A = this chain, B = another copy of it.
Amino acid sequence: MAGRRSGAATVAASDAASGPAADGAAAEAAAGGATDKTPRTARGRKTLRAILDAAAAEFGARGFHDTGITHITQRAGVALGTFYTYFNSKEEVFRALVRDMSAQVRDHVAPAIAAAPDGLAAERAGLASFLGFVRAHKEIYRIIDEAEFVDPDSYRAHYQNTADRIALRLGEAERRGDLSIADTEVVAWAIMGMNVFLGLRFGVLGDDRTPDEVAGIANALIARGLVRG
């Protein structure tokens, strides 16, 4: 699932603590290099999860640079050194987190999109679902945004992947005859930007509109535009 970097305990591996498909992933990880930091015991998996949750909370609240390893370990209730049992560096947890959040967003939004009757409804459902998610996980916004400065690769990958998925959907909708799109990539980035900033404004900064309201208005915009008549 989530990509891995050599020797680092991965979020996928941590999912192993709660998910059924985890055994496979864990085994896979275990088959990795000598520097593998995947936990082998139940106790280890629990600790790893605690560290990851703490890291998400701290990075979300104070940002990458103002978060110290001690902040994370103290919140997780483990000793400082324990951190390095699971991660090789501060950047590494951050990377793991960005991938995890990126996947979480996608997985949360996907079902809503899949259930939509047509291309337009899909975008609307996707945005509404996204807004709801952002409100519930404000720290995600921050972490992904900060990736631009901490781990540019993850940052670009996240937005490139998101845009690609939108473009894919638009392409299908066009082929089905639902929509007419001049340039799928340009339009995909435009829609994504719209969604992201609406998430910022109506998910993170304020909540003076319901997700459905916002999604409805935005959807009308991309459906028929602003020109009267």
Contacts and interface: CB of A to CB of B under 8 A. Distances in A.
Interface of A: 34, 63-65, 74, 120, 142, 145-146, 148-149, 156, 159, 163, 170, 177-183, 185-187, 189-198, 200-202, 205, 209, 213-214, 217-218, 220-228
A42 B159 CA distance: 46
A59 to B, nearest CB: 11
B228 A226 contact: no
Contact of A220 (B182, B192, B198): B182
Given A148-B145, A193-B197, A205-B156, A227 B221 contact: no
15 contacts: A65-B149, A120-B227, A145-B149, A156-B205, A178-B228, A180-B226, A181-B226, A186-B213, A186-B218, A190-B198, A190-B221, A192-B197, A194-B194, A221-B222, A223-B226
Nearest to A146: B149
Nearest to A148: B145
A186 B214 contact: yes
Most chain-B Cβ atoms within 10 A of its Cβ — which of A65, A142, A213? Answer: A65
Q: Interface on chain A toward B: helix, strand, loop, or mixed SS?
A: helix
Most chain-B Cβ atoms within 10 A of its Cβ — which of A34, A74, A201? Answer: A201
Contacts of A202: 186, 189
A145 B120 CA distance: 30
B224 A227 contact: yes
Given A190-B197, A198-B189, A179 B226 contact: yes
A224 B224 contact: yes
Contacts of A209: 183, 186
A169 B163 CA distance: 28
B34 A74 contact: yes
Contacts of A191: 194
A192 to B, nearest CB: 6
A161 B222 CA distance: 24
Contacts of A177: 228
A216 B209 CA distance: 30
Given A65-B65, A193-B194, A196-B193, A187 B149 contact: no
